[in-house]
Chains A and B, each alone.
Chain A
């Protein structure tokens, strides 16, 4: 038994020396994740703000100017001048100068004054569906508010007391992320994806390198068991991935102001198990890959695509096709994604999420066992 731990420690120590003496690897492991987090968090931003907007005011009355001013006053719309007619809007959409055009037709002031239904056209560039969706919701809300204001003004003018009139007002509240800031949602997910990519990538080449160097043969003539080799190789990477996790949590607090509401201890334990899962995937690749290049590419494909697509990071898992939902069970990202978002945003811990951790544990044991079996089958 002591021999076993001595050998695992020897492997782990040797791996640390490899990492410490390779500056490129140090950068890849300790600095790139932070850069990736910042880049991704800024690049993937679902928040819609300052949408370039133009105005076509064909009425040119004080009433129409008052209406248009409400757009200027909102930080959702960035009003960039006015255009003479609807044809000019088409040209502006094509050039991509603006995404929303508000057209106030002639007779707007007259209709409002007469108490008639006044018409305005809001044209939205639908080529970016996300901002189009939000844009249309936003203009509708703005127009409803403005309409109510007009009603109140009109009623006041007519001497009617509107306050006694019953009104239905829906109040929609978003929980956990009340402002619906997408960074709050993205950063915990990014932590999962980045750590998966880094660890899978690094462990995927490790056994291939041992084979290329001929050192694997020397291990074969020693009492070292394959599982000992795997565990010894995992330990240093687990510690480094932990450093990554701490860095990412700190960055998300300090730079992105993402709240961490839940149990950090639970997050840490889950992350350790998750790192074992990712490294296990890397070792499986390493066991079957014929060369360093193919190991690298395979690791990239397997960590990147399912990491983003099948983890619930980019799309909610309920909304992807059923076949892919099944496929997502094969990658550890989805379990960790639940845990990370749960801890960051919902403030949960052991009691609510232990089942996801159990899945991760099962996954880790299976992945490391499979990699040991595969590497044994190959060499004999």
Chain B
């Protein structure tokens, strides 16, 4: 990568880059009479669609969830079991995407250089990636053991897919730095930690202690992921803050 984003260059956004033009813009906008109302009108439109909307999707028909209630916990009604399965589907999808996010991070680190002094190496990242893969398969098997179909894209899985799109875009962009990539990974790991905590609680409440224990193991590992990623992210942010920016000629 040529240059650093923290270098002083020719960023043309903001008003101070062209004060005279900015003044003309402001004066022009001040002279017009805007249409009546405020942004509350947008909420009215959204509310209208909210009232007519149906969910992004639902869980699959019961035929594909044979034996589910038994495995999840006898006390559970079908509806609650599908809620747990929806969250399991979400975790499965997120961990699967997580493996791909780490792959992109590894590519970036190999392209821009490993940072041995803070332990940000391919080996360290591969280790985290393999654990994401294990977690993915752990959830896959859990869903299967409940008699459900782990290849279903559940509604929550669908929605986290939308959330993760931005993270993926940051990581595969050859113009983003290692620090920016770590920001995306940190984002993913923070959500992952909170989500594993919830899964442990939900499986405990469902009375499935064996699964709750396995999920607790995964949660602890994810806690360690978060600690590491946060450490790298903060170390790089401090390094950038301490560095002396130099002027880069526009190419």
A binds B: no
> Which residues in B have some Cβ–Cβ distance to A below 8 Å?
none
